[in-house]
Amino acid sequence: MSHPFAAIQQLWTSLKTSNSFVQNSAFMLSASLSGIIIQLIFSPILSRIYSPDVYGLFSIFNSMAVVAGVFATLGYNRAFVLPREDSIFRALLRFGIRATWITGFLVLLITLIFGNTINSTFGSEDMGLWIWLLGPAIVLLSFDRMALDWSIRVKSFKKQSLISVPITLATKSFNALYGWLISSTVEGLIFTTMLHYLVRIVVYVLRIIPGATAFLRNAPNAEVRKVAREEYREYPRYIMWGNAIHTFSNYLPILVMPLLLDSSRPAGLLVYAGLILDLPARLMNSAISPVFLQKATETHHRNPEELGALTRRLYWNLLFISAVPLLILFVVGAPLYGWVFGAEWTEAGAAAEILSVYFLYRLIGSPISSIFNVLRKEKQAFGFQIVLFLFKLAALIVGGLYTDDFLELVVVFSIANGLTYALLIGWVFALLRQPVVRILLISIAVQGALLTGAYYLKLALFA
């Protein structure tokens, strides 16, 4: 009987310990939960201001910015947490900043020259000249990423959690007011996103990261830059490309379905389908993934044989935590979306029901994939991301040859994603010398049992 109380006491002690894994996770989790609450409050409002077609235009714009933004930093931001010497980190930061300015300028030139061609290719002619903001958006997004990764390096988790709520609340309010009072067209969504990045960058540099401005003024010498470039040469060569392919894979349906269906509307429906699905993913990425990366890196340096057990514990915890909200969405997705977001979003709810089946593996696979970085298996990660990307792309193209129905394409994409994320999970545990087959079989059995029960519940409620 003493074991549960001992575990609770240990958890409470860890929660009070400064910069402990539990405390840092709690800070990031609280910030993510607050952001989710704000999102849930504003989404039904915004869905009645901006139509699926408008969200489709913005989704195409945002997807381009996010994918191109991966190249902007050359992948160096992914290594910010790794150097033990601040001088090496400073060099990596400078590399990322310089590359971002160059990328933003090149994209601006491309959109000025070929903007109309880009819009017509993706069926987003109504985007108009707002496509010219793609370059500046990439710069802001990349600087925001670097500021976030910098704050993780210095473990400013508490400050992050305190400042995230007012920033999110302010930008969401701006979004709603702009659409209501000025125009419910795509520029309102673009302006809001760029404003969000800009405010976060300023706050991180001035308030979150200790001594950030002084740190930025000190340039690393040539010898330090040479050492940093050599030690982390794998990042622009492999990590950047692997991360780009991974990011492109995530945004693939948003960019490819408008090409296959000759409309930007499917992109908007997919974004709202992922709105509820992505809530747990946001918790993982903002609350769990950064802290796990930092903890896994420390464990690998101090006690590498414990890394497998640490990853396995996180995996099982995420499996059971993630299953509950996804099962609920599987049962009531379509009617829930129609009631909460409006009748024109019911189809997005039906898509969310389908996608929820594979999303379980995405939720638990994404956080533990940072093991590739911890173990410095950059080349393996790069090769595996290519396989994942090609498999997803082939599934969408083949599906597009046989159907022009949005939901049928979602089914094909969901099956392909489930298989690829299962392979990703298996690869990670193989690197850690864990029982891969046993872990995957138990995971599939648990999901199968839960889905069977949820399916019969769905029939009982809506048949």
Dist CA 269 CA 266 (whole Å)? 5
Residues 166-170 have a mean pLDDT of: 86
Confidence of residue 16 (pLDDT cuts 50, 70, 90): low
Q: CA torsion 27→32→37→38, rounded to 10°?
A: 110
Q: Say which residue, 262 or 41, is predicted with more confidence.
A: 41
pTM: 0.77
Q: What pLDDT digit, counting tens, does each position of 373-404 carry? A: 788 787 777 777 788 788 888 888 888 888 88
Q: Are residues 180 and 74 in the same domain?
A: yes
Q: Which of 231, 261, 277 is the last residue of a domain?
A: 231
Q: Are residues 443 and 456 in the same domain?
A: yes
Q: Are residues 132 and 205 in the same domain?
A: yes
| Structural domains in the chain (count) | 2
Q: Which of 135, 153, 279, 150 is nearest to 203 (CA)?
A: 150
Q: What pLDDT digit, counting tens, does each position of 74-96 carry? A: 989 888 888 888 889 999 999 99
Q: Which of 132, 425, 396 is nearest to 258 (CA)?
A: 396
Q: Are residues 430 and 291 in the same domain?
A: yes
Q: Is the pLDDT of residue 1 over 50?
A: no
The per-residue pLDDT for 2 is: 42
Q: Are residues 339 and 273 in the same domain?
A: yes
Residue 7 domain-assigned? no
Residue 3 domain-assigned? no
Q: Which of 177, 202, 231 is the last residue of a domain?
A: 231
| Range in 74-88, 103-117, 154-168, 216-230 the model is least confident about | 154-168
Q: Which of 434, 448, 149 is nearest to 315 (CA)?
A: 434
| Range in 177-186, 220-229, 365-374 the model is least confident about | 365-374
Dist CA 239 CA 378 (whole Å)? 6
Q: What pLDDT digit, counting tens, does each position of 244-264 carry? A: 887 888 888 899 888 888 888
Q: What is the DSSP letter of 106?
A: H
CA atoms within 13 A on the CB side of 123: 19
Instruction: Indicate the burial class of 367 (C-beta count within 10 angstroms; 0-12, 13-18, 19 or more).
Output: buried
Dist CA 306 CA 295 (whole Å)? 11
Residue 296 domain-assigned? yes
Residue 6 domain-assigned? no
Find the domain containing 137 and state its range. 13-231
Residues 332-359 have a mean pLDDT of: 88
Dist CA 23 CA 16 (whole Å)? 7
Q: Are residues 104 and 147 in the same domain?
A: yes
Q: What is the DSSP letter of 288?
A: I
Q: Is the pLDDT of residue 138 over 90?
A: yes
Q: Are residues 221 and 304 in the same domain?
A: no
Residues 6+ apart with CB under 8 A from 412: 395, 396, 398, 399
**CB-CB contact of 268 with 124 (8 Å):** no
Confidence of residue 32 (pLDDT cuts 50, 70, 90): low
Residues 424-437 have a mean pLDDT of: 86
Q: Are residues 143 and 155 in the same domain?
A: yes
Q: Are residues 133 and 240 in the same domain?
A: no
The per-residue pLDDT for 20 is: 59
Residue 361 domain-assigned? yes
Residues 6+ apart with CB under 8 A from 338: 345, 346, 349
Q: What pLDDT digit, counting tens, does each position of 265-305 carry? A: 889 999 888 877 877 666 666 567 777 777 888 888 888 88
Confidence of residue 4 (pLDDT cuts 50, 70, 90): very low
Residue 141 domain-assigned? yes
Q: Is the pLDDT of residue 453 over 80?
A: yes
Q: Are residues 222 and 284 in the same domain?
A: no
| Range in 145-159, 375-389, 430-444 the model is least confident about | 375-389
Residue 4 domain-assigned? no
The per-residue pLDDT for 5 is: 55
Residue 343 domain-assigned? yes
Q: Are residues 118 and 177 in the same domain?
A: yes
Q: What's the chain's Rg over C-alpha atoms? A: 22
